């Protein structure tokens, strides 16, 4: 069996950053991604990112992806595309499908950076052609130059909903309405404002009742919801749309961490079930790390830092990183992450981290008892 210092699963911002960081310390690193294109979510992000210069703010996401790839190349990282990891044994034996072959490779450390999958909401008519995820809408418009539809209803007003709605306007769609069951827009006000000033109405405290149409979406009916999120009769509104775009949250991709036997915790603030991790991404399985959305839904900016922390930890574990310098590098990365997680929008993550910390303490207490 071949052996590598570090195997990274997923070539999104988290995985590429972990690879770059670890390779700098001299580790032999390979990154597997099932996709034909590297970069994860970044290649669909045509908008400028927030943050500070250290977080590559004001760069457009796809360009950050290109930069990461170039950096990985310069650092000597091997990126293997079309390589789906289907198994993780003893935490450190990686089973990967390449073409018509299955290979097993042993690693001294593994970083899971597999990202997340989109949530769906079922409603009558949700299987009609024309009901799509926000990620699919983005892939069609921004990667393939195909407009998903002409008249669109966006379900979900978090950052994904408002960002994708704007991109659909840029692609030439008419966005007929934005709805969300919550009473307040979850995305940044500035993102919502650039959609609103084009004349798109927002309906908060509303849900989708059904999609209507003969063989494809022709209209959608929404209604207001009460305190228990039940539709209020008499408040229905119908929009003539051919596309219903769902942006109702993401769920961390945990198949591999569960298979490896990581201790899991359920933290709604991070998107549901996630592996219990220390701040550097270390899971309960020695040598196995998680970074980015696979360990809790956040942002690309933070995924890049979390990736670097995991890469650094994997290097230190194998004695590659001189401890004093590595210590201060770790400190610097943590501070950068804290700067991103400040303010009211970081509250969700800060609270979930607190709960994660408590869960780990409990776990440690159980083990010593």
Partner 1 sequence: MSDCLKTNGYLLMEDLANAPGVPSAERRKQGPVAIFECIQEIPCNPCEQACDKDAVRVGSKITDRPELNAENCSGCGKCVSACPGQAVFIVDESKGDEAYVTLPYEFLPLPDKGEIVLALDRSGSVLGEARIVRSRLLDSMDRTAQVTMAVPLEWSMQARFFKRKEA
Ligand X SMILES: Cc1cc2nc3c(=O)[nH]c(=O)nc-3n(C[C@H](O)[C@H](O)[C@H](O)COP(=O)(O)OP(=O)(O)OC[C@H]3O[C@@H](n4cnc5c(N)ncnc54)[C@H](O)[C@@H]3O)c2cc1C
Which positions lie near ligand X, rule CB under 6 A?
9-15, 32-35, 40-42, 45, 47, 49, 84-85, 113-116, 134-135, 138, 160, 163-164, 253, 292-294, 298-301, 303
Q: Using the rule CB under 8 A, which residue among 44, 132, 341, 352 binds partner 1? A: 341
Note whether 350 binds partner 1 by CB under 8 A.
Answer: no
The nearest distance, CB 235 to partner 1, in angstroms, is 16
CB atoms within 10 A of CB 277: 25
Q: Give CA–CA dist 306/337, Å, rounded.
A: 8
Determine which helix (DSSP H) or strand (DSSP E) holds 330, and give its type and residue range. helix 323-340
Q: Which is nearer to ligand X, 109 or 116 (CB)?
A: 116
Note whether 204 binds partner 1 by CB under 8 A.
Answer: yes
The nearest distance, CB 40 to ligand X, in angstroms, is 2
Q: Helix 300-317 vs helix 61-74: angle between axes, to the nearest 10 degrees?
A: 20
Place of tokens 């799509």: 132
- Grouping H, G, I as helix, E, B as strand and the rest as coil, residue 296 is coil
Place of tokens 């979930």: 352
Q: Do residues 294 and 4 make contact, with C-beta atoms less than 8 angstroms apart?
A: no
Note whether 191 binds partner 1 by CB under 8 A.
Answer: yes
Note whether 145 binds partner 1 by CB under 8 A.
Answer: no
Torsion of Cα atoms, 55 then 331 then 28 then 101, to 10°: -60
Q: Which is nearer to ligand X, 15 or 231 (CB)?
A: 15
Note whether 121 binds partner 1 by CB under 8 A.
Answer: no
Q: Do residues 310 and 290 make contact, with C-beta atoms less than 8 angstroms apart?
A: yes
Query: Could you give phi then psi for residue 183, rounded to 5 degrees?
Result: -90, -10
Q: Which is nearer to ligand X, 223 or 289 (CB)?
A: 289
Note whether 346 binds partner 1 by CB under 8 A.
Answer: yes
State the chain's maximal CA–CA distance in angstroms: 68
Note whether 348 binds partner 1 by CB under 8 A.
Answer: no
Q: Which is nearer to partner 1, 11 or 171 (CB)?
A: 171
The nearest distance, CB 202 to partner 1, in angstroms, is 5
Note whether 193 binds partner 1 by CB under 8 A.
Answer: yes
The nearest distance, CB 351 to ligand X, in angstroms, is 18
Note whether 3 binds partner 1 by CB under 8 A.
Answer: no
Handedness of CA 80, 29, 64, 276 (dihedral sign): positive
Q: Do residues 9 and 114 make contact, with C-beta atoms less than 8 angstroms apart?
A: yes
Note whether 42 binds partner 1 by CB under 8 A.
Answer: no
Please work out the total of residues on this chain that contact partner 1, with binding judged by CB under 8 A.
44
**Which entry of ligand X, partner 1, none binds 148, CB below 5 to 8 A by partner kind?**
none
- Pick the piece of the chain touching partner 1 (CB under 8 A) from 8-16, 141-149, 198-206, 208-216: 198-206
CB atoms within 10 A of CB 129: 11
The nearest distance, CB 344 to partner 1, in angstroms, is 6
Which residues neighbour 128 within 8 Å (Cβ) at sequence distance 6 or greater? 211, 213, 215, 216, 217
**Which entry of ligand X, partner 1, none binds 21, CB below 5 to 8 A by partner kind?**
none
Note whether 183 binds partner 1 by CB under 8 A.
Answer: yes
Query: Could you give phi then psi for residue 321, rounded to 5 degrees?
Result: -100, 120
Q: Do residues 149 and 242 make contact, with C-beta atoms less than 8 angstroms apart?
A: yes
Q: Which is nearer to partner 1, 11 or 223 (CB)?
A: 223
The nearest distance, CB 178 to partner 1, in angstroms, is 7
The nearest distance, CB 199 to partner 1, in angstroms, is 3
Query: Could you give phi then psi for residue 79, rounded to 5 degrees?
Result: -110, 120
Sort 173 into a burial class: Cβ within 10 Å, 0-12 / 13-18 / 19+.
buried
- Provide the binding-site residues for partner 1, judged by CB under 8 A: 47-53, 55, 57-58, 60, 157, 162, 169-170, 178, 183-185, 188-202, 204, 301, 339-346
């Amino acid at each position: 069996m071949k052996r590598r210092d570090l195997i990274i699963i997923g070539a999104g911002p988290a995985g590429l950053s972990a690879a770059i960081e670890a390779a700098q310390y001299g580790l032999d690193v390979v990154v597997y991604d099932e996709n034909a294109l590297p970069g994860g979510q970044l290649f669909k992000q045509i908008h400028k990112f927030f943050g500070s210069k250290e977080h590559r703010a004001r760069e457009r996401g796809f360009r950050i992806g290109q930069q990461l790839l170039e950096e990985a190349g310069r650092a000597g990282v091997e990126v293997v595309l079309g390589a789906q990891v289907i198994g993780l044994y003893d935490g450190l034996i990686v089973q990967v499908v390449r073409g018509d072959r299955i290979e097993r490779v042993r690693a001294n450390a593994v970083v899971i950076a597999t990202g997340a999958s989109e949530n769906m909401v079922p409603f009558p008519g949700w299987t009609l052609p024309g009901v799509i995820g926000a990620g699919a809408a983005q892939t069609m418009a921004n990667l393939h130059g195909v407009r998903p539809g002409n008249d669109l209803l966006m379900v979900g007003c978090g950052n994904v909903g408002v960002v994708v709605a704007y991109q659909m306007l840029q692609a030439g769609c008419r966005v007929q309405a934005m709805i969300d069951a919550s009473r307040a827009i979850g995305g940044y006000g500035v993102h919502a404002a650039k959609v609103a000033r084009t004349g798109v109405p927002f309906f908060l405290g509303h849900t989708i009742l059904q999609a209507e149409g003969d063989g494809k979406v022709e209209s959608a009916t929404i209604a207001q919801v009460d305190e228990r999120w039940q539709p209020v009769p008499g408040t229905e509104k119908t929009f003539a749309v051919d596309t219903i775009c769902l942006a109702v949250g993401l769920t961390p991709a945990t198949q591999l961490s569960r298979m490896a036997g990581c201790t899991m915790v359920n933290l709604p603030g991070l998107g549901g079930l996630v592996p219990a991790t220390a701040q550097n991404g270390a899971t309960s399985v020695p040598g196995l790390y998680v970074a980015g959305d696979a360990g809790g839904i956040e942002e690309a900016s933070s995924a890049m830092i979390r990736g670097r922390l995991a890469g650094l930890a994997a290097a230190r574990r194998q004695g590659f990183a001189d401890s004093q310098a590595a210590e201060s590098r770790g400190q610097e990365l943590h501070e950068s992450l804290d700067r991103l997680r400040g303010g009211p929008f970081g509250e969700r993550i800060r609270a979930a981290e607190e709960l994660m910390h408590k869960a780990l303490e409990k776990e440690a207490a159980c083990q010593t008892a």
